[in-house]
Amino acid sequence: MENELFVLVLALATIPVLFWGFRVLPGRGWQMLATLPVRKGKNPCNEGTNLTWYGLLTANAYAAALALLFVLLGSTAIPLAAMLMIAALLLLVCVPASRLVARLVEGKSHTFTIGGAVFVGILITPWVIQLVSWLSDTSLPVLTFLAAIGCAYALGEGLGRIACISFGCCYGKRLADCSPRMQRMFKRWSLVFQDETRKACYADGLAGQPLIPIQMVTAVLYVGTALIGVALFLHGLFAFSFLLTLLVTQIWRVFSEFLRADYRGRQGFSAYQVMGLLAIPYAIGCVYLFSSAVSTTPLLMDGLQLFWRPLPILFLQIVWLIIFAYTGRSTVTGAHVDYYLHRERI
């Protein structure tokens, strides 16, 4: 019963956040979180650096994903030191990869790609677990780790898609360019961006145009998949949990690219779609290769008790700060900051 209650609480904690994001974030004023004056400009104003809602929401998504990862792994009696070491190694590789892969595929050095980072993560995760297992002289169940990481990734990317709404990136095609059936399907839920600093507006001139809400569909699909994956995991069905989260997210990544309008490289079939397709047989091979590893039956309360310890909480806070600093400082927008006196208050 406690497993079902946990999944219900997780749903009640995440789904309202998604629908808040769908309703509020496309509106004006929800791209920039704050502006910091950094230097004196040529005119009387100071030049400023913008901190974005994208960075805040992305950091929140990373923290939520890591918290879920710790709960799931803790429920299977995985040592805390192994969890933290593997999480740190994966973040050290995958976070920079989100910018590096975008530079290689799209030729842009000031953008991020979750798809590229995820593909890198899928490739290296089993071997990072094996490495940590060898270094710590501990037999770590690889498939259990993969299932927990799959659930955490689906939840994190699902929540992270509302960050894309706030910045206007990862946007869908114009509804006017779609079939009548597609127009009827998404007419009520289309996304419209107005601010010229949103990516859909400055990159493709789509200000005021109803767009396919690809971020919204992805968010709902991924969070729903994560919830089902968690339920399977807590019942000890690690292979099914991993395959569900991996297959749904990667198949949707391949299909959703046909509905997107943002630049994804010069190829008709993008590099990210190729990555998504390659990830599927690789994941199936990992299940076959590591299915013999022994793991314990999950005990949810053991995982929740991790958060009575300071180290996991401190780790989450540090990761949150690093992600916000890395993704929250906008390098494609700027600001002018002016100061004045309220003389009537002097």
Q: Express as a percent the part of the chain with pLDDT over 70.
A: 93
**What's the average model confidence in pLDDT over 265-288?**
82
**What's the average model confidence in pLDDT over 292-317?**
86
pLDDT digits (tens, 9 = 90+) for 21-73: 999 999 888 889 998 888 776 667 788 889 999 999 999 999 999 999 999 99
> C-alpha angle with apex 168: 217 to 177, nearest 5 degrees?
65
- Sketch the domain layout of the chain as residue ranges: 2-35+49-330
**What's the average model confidence in pLDDT over 224-240?**
94
Task: Categorize the per-residue pLDDT at 220 as very low, low, confident or very high, splitting at 50, 70 and 90.
Answer: very high
pLDDT of residue 42: 67
The pair of structure tokens assigned to 299 is 């005990």
Residue 229 CA to residue 6 CA, distance in Å, equals 13
pLDDT of residue 103: 73
pLDDT of residue 265: 63
pLDDT of residue 335: 84
Mean pLDDT of the chain: 87
Q: Express as a percent the part of the chain with pLDDT over 90.
A: 41
pLDDT digits (tens, 9 = 90+) for 170-196: 888 898 888 888 888 888 888 899 888
Q: How many CB atoms within 10 Å of residue 212?
A: 25
Minimum mean pLDDT among 81-85, 101-105, 329-333: which range?
101-105
pLDDT digits (tens, 9 = 90+) for 85-135: 999 998 888 888 777 777 776 666 666 677 677 878 888 888 888 888 888
pLDDT of residue 295: 64
pLDDT of residue 115: 67
